Structure 1
Amino acid sequence: MYKGFSLSFAVAFALGMFIQTSVLAQPAYAETAADNYKLYCVQCHGLAGVGKGINAPFLAVQPRNHKSSKDMGELSDANVFKAIKSGGVSVGKSTQMPPFGGILTDAEITEVVKHLRGMCKCEGKK
């Protein structure tokens, strides 16, 4: 009886360690900038990025249209980075744009800025 129990315990322990190690090996952040955009931005800016997310009707200030090359082209990458990291108020925009600096690393924010440039098919002011 103890031999069967020991074998079952050993298998369960090994399986538990494998699962725990697999879970711990997962990154705590999204794999790509597009994933981060989907996680943190689409609620307000929408899946298409045109500022028509599910929360947009309830906001006093409508979210920016990330596909607008005219609007996005007027912003420098540094300005967009700062807005994402420190929130809209940091760049003189809406207080309803929350800061993501406590959630995303600087490297992730830089990648999101690049993703936004791809969405608008534009470069920012230098």
Structure 2
Amino acid sequence: MHLISSAYAQSLGGGSTMASLTQFAPLVLIFGVFYFILIRPQQQKQKALKASVAAMKRGDRVITAGGILGTVQKLREGTNEVEVEIAPNVRVIVLKETISSIVKPVAANDSKPVAVVPPSKVS
């Protein structure tokens, strides 16, 4: 009398390595897709933000994580604090880590050109 089924006996050690590899291939593929679509671009974005915050100077317009828009008035040396003016004569001190973006001003000649509509033809 056989107490162990043949399928169970094969799974105990009679299976091939290739079969177990094909089981993990979809998981590796899914992780690879997630890495290149989600994780890597986010890391690059954080790296660019960190570089722009490190290069921040007086007069730059910034947006904090709380959504406050202000102008950098003073960078405090030796600390991670920045003095930001959020309204005329209203200054707050924020941490560099809370700055979510630096707003680049648009120069007058860099703005979008206005589309010129040609006059209709008179026949």
Q: When the two structures are superposed, what TM-score results if normalisation uses the length of structure 1?
A: 0.30
TM-score by length of 2: 0.31
Q: Comparing both chains, which one has the higher relative contact order based on Cα–Cα distances under 8 Å and sequence gaps of 6 or more?
A: 1
Q: Which has the higher strand share?
A: 2
- Higher helix content, 1 or 2: 1
